[in-house]
Amino acid sequence: MKCKGVNGVAVLDIVEIGRKQAYIFASNRLKEIEGASMIIRHVSERLPKELSLPYFGKNNVIMEGGGHSIYQFNTRHEGYEFNRMLSRTVLKQFPGLQFYCVMVDFNPEADLLSDKITELSEALAQKKSGHAGSLRQYSYGIEKLCESTRLPATEIVTIKDEVRFVSAEIYAKLKFAQDNKLEEYFADLQLSGLPVQMTSDTDVLEDGERSKVAVIHLDGNRMGEKIAKFRELYQIKEGESVRDYNQRYREAFRQFSNDIDTKYKAAFKAAMVDLYSRVQVSDEPIALNTYNENGIPVRPIIFAGDDISFIVPGPLGVEAARMMLEKLQQDKLEIDGGPGSRKVSMTLHACAGVAIVKSGYPFARAHEMAEQLCRMAKTRVLQDGFERLEEGDASALDFHILHGDWSGSIRQQREEDYLMKDANNQAYSLTLKPYYVMSPSARQSVSGLFNQLATFQVAWERMTDKEKIARSKIKKLRECIKRGPAETKRFIQLNQLEDYLMGFKDTPLEQGEIFTYERCCPYYDAIEAMDDVLLFPREEREL
């Protein structure tokens, strides 16, 4: 591809879909969410090629996907025409989709591509920050309104014998979902023989016994630092021309972006394989035998690099998130600056939030809950930092089982329902969440981290062992835990449970105590989860 345009100046063009989450979850209906997520992928990866512009090809692409793409054009006119055609198509075909395009001049003979990409990102951030929602009259007050968007309805659709009035935005989502196969748009999440059943049918996704689904949101840790490390390693070398450096940086940057995307998708697929194999041999009361034949039902929502969201049956949510985090940790992101540069290997840590809700619960609110849980896990990792974590980073998971509705703030609910005070006005916590997800070797390198998922696993196994402890006692124990350490200790001694409700490998407890030295209870989370979460046996060395 020729890189020189008028006066030797080309342009870099960044195209980004704005407020992706808001667009996807503008509706609470799964079919509409499915169409929205497929549209974002279509606009990011397929639509530019379908414009059939004579000057546009794969050599123009620096990176693309996940609603964020960077292109290079020979002239500003080519970039302008590309943006005009792309924007026009989006506005006509996909109403409601927010779209940003920004260009900067780029002289491949004089400008360093790494600096120009930074400049491009800054220009995009400035444009987005200066974007003000224009005042617009959407309705005259006489139209039938769309139930999902509250905008004037433009179409009438019939879904499962239900006649609905829908806005142009919702109609576009429904039509796209109807005209395109889910499996095709998420083909990169499937392997030959992979036991995953991609579905948009809520009845298939929900757990048959409890009618619950798990909405999972996962986000990579410290990706900005990883990008900064990449830039640090890819510096122009002595005697290297700017053109040669730009070509080398371009190829490496594209590979770096692809590696992140590929590794996260590979971790998801490996987790699904592992999950399916565990389900097949499970003898838990939540049998899940119906999944043995058709595979694990799953609904991908967002798969954009390290930004992941998907839905699985409720009881499998915690295990699905844990397995994906573990698979990520087993892989390494390698950055090699080329001959004469050092090679850096970084562990892919991430955090996950799992919202377990009734299948009829609005998916937009469930996803918001999952995002909040993910942020709380990230906050915990940042707070502990190097003082408690060997690398200053780790993977963590938080989950919440919703009964009824919620205030909209997980943090507020935790403070109100899980932070208590005893008769002496001493504070104590009923929960250890968020939980760290660590390999056995990593757990041995840290100390004082009692909130590890391995601890929750053992507590859950003890609470679900009906031969060792009756459910009636568990219910009474739960009420005692709420009243504090002193009441709990008396109950344990009275019922002679000291030897059974003992400490953990990572969480030593004094005899008869089930509160840590920080006055947190490792058992309350397990009691809450025993009916709605399925965990699979782990090898002893893992715990």
Q: What is the pLDDT of residues 232-243, one digit of tens each?
A: 888 888 888 999
- Exposure on the CB side of residue 189, measured as CA atoms within 13 A: 23
Q: Where residue 3 falls among pLDDT bands split at 50, 70, 90? A: very low
Mean pLDDT, residues 111-119: 92
User: Does residue 487 surpass a pLDDT of 60?
Assistant: yes
- Is the Cβ–Cβ distance between 433 and 375 less than 8 Å? no
CB-neighbour burial class of residue 126 (10 A; exposed 0-12, middle 13-18, buried 19+): exposed
- Is the Cβ–Cβ distance between 99 and 90 less than 8 Å? yes
pLDDT digits (tens, 9 = 90+) for 18-28: 888 888 888 77
Q: Where residue 6 falls among pLDDT bands split at 50, 70, 90? A: very low
Choice between 160 and 195, residue whose per-residue pLDDT is larger: 160
Q: Is 244 helix (H, G, I), strand (E, B) or coil?
A: helix
At 95, list the tokens: 């109403």
User: Does residue 7 surpass a pLDDT of 80?
Assistant: no
| Residue 444 confidence (pLDDT) | 56
DSSP letters along 378-410, please?
HHHHHHHHHHH-TTS--EEEEEEE-SS---S-H
At 487, list the tokens: 């009441």
pLDDT digits (tens, 9 = 90+) for 421-474: 877 888 889 999 999 998 665 655 555 566 888 889 989 988 988 888 888 889
CB-neighbour burial class of residue 125 (10 A; exposed 0-12, middle 13-18, buried 19+): exposed
Percentage of the residues of the chain whose pLDDT score is greater than 70: 85
Percentage of the residues of the chain whose pLDDT score is greater than 90: 30
| Residue 215 confidence (pLDDT) | 94
| Residue 543 confidence (pLDDT) | 46
Give residues with Cβ within 8 angstroms of 381, minimum separation 6: 221, 349, 351, 389, 393, 394, 396
Place of tokens 């992979």: 194
Measured CA to CA, the distance from residue 164 to residue 328 in angstroms comes to: 43
User: Does residue 4 surpass a pLDDT of 50?
Assistant: no
Query: Phi and psi dihedrals of 329, rounded to 5?
Result: -65, -25
Dihedral (CA of 238, 243, 244, 250) sign: positive
| Residue 28 confidence (pLDDT) | 76
- Is the Cβ–Cβ distance between 371 and 408 less than 8 Å? no
Q: Where residue 390 falls among pLDDT bands split at 50, 70, 90? A: low
Q: Which 8-state DSSP code applies to residue 142?
A: -
At 364, list the tokens: 């937009």
Measured CA to CA, the distance from residue 15 to residue 64 in angstroms comes to: 9
Q: What mean pLDDT, rounded, does the chain reach?
A: 84
| Residue 295 confidence (pLDDT) | 72
Widest distance between CA atoms in the chain: 88
Place of tokens 């030295």: 517
Place of tokens 């591509």: 113
pLDDT digits (tens, 9 = 90+) for 250-295: 999 988 988 998 999 999 999 988 888 888 776 664 545 556 566 7
Pick the closest to residue 196 from 300, 323, 326 (CA basis). 300
Measured CA to CA, the distance from residue 485 to residue 507 in angstroms comes to: 16
Q: Which amino acid is at 100?
A: Y
Give the chain's domains with CATH numbers. Answer: 6-128 (3.30.70.270), 202-417 (3.30.70.270), 419-543 (no CATH)
| Residue 387 confidence (pLDDT) | 66
